[in-house]
């Protein structure tokens, strides 16, 4: 396939952007539950007397909330 150098540069740039988005999404999957855990453990025991949670429970809560409230699903 013969393409001009400018087109090749643009294709490489688009591929780099897609790779960065994929890496950001993968990191977000692990960071967002950690943030949820920290916020839960900071607020909920003091306000409502709930127990603190670990990372796996926070990950489960995050997944449940994504299933229930994610507006980017294929519904």
Q: What is the pTM of this model?
A: 0.74
Is 19 part of any domain? no
Please answer whether residues 40 and 53 qualify as being in contact, where contact means their C-beta atoms are separated by less than 8 angstroms. yes
- Which of 73 and 9 is assigned the larger pLDDT? 9
Full domain range(s) for residue 39:
25-69
- At residue 63, does pLDDT exceed 70? yes
Domain contains 5 = no
Question: Residue 6 has what pLDDT?
Answer: 81
H or E segment at 37? helix 5-48
Identify the pLDDT of residue 48.
96
> Using an 8 Å Cβ cutoff, are 37 and 16 in contact?
no
Model confidence at 4, pLDDT cuts 50, 70, 90, reads confident
Exposure of 57 by Cβ count < 10 A (0-12 exposed, 13-18 middle, 19+ buried)? middle
Q: How many domains does the chain have?
A: 1
- Position 39 in a domain: yes
Query: What pLDDT does 71 receive?
Result: 79
In a domain, 74, yes or no: no
């Amino acid at each position: 396939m013969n393409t001009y150098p400018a087109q090749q540069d643009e294709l490489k740039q688009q591929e780099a952007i897609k790779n960065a988005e994929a890496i950001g999404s993968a990191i977000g999957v692990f960071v967002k539950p950690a943030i949820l855990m920290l916020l839960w453990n900071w607020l909920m025991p003091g306000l409502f007397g709930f127990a603190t949670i670990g990372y796996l429970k926070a990950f489960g809560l995050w997944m449940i909330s994504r299933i229930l409230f994610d507006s980017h699903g294929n519904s």
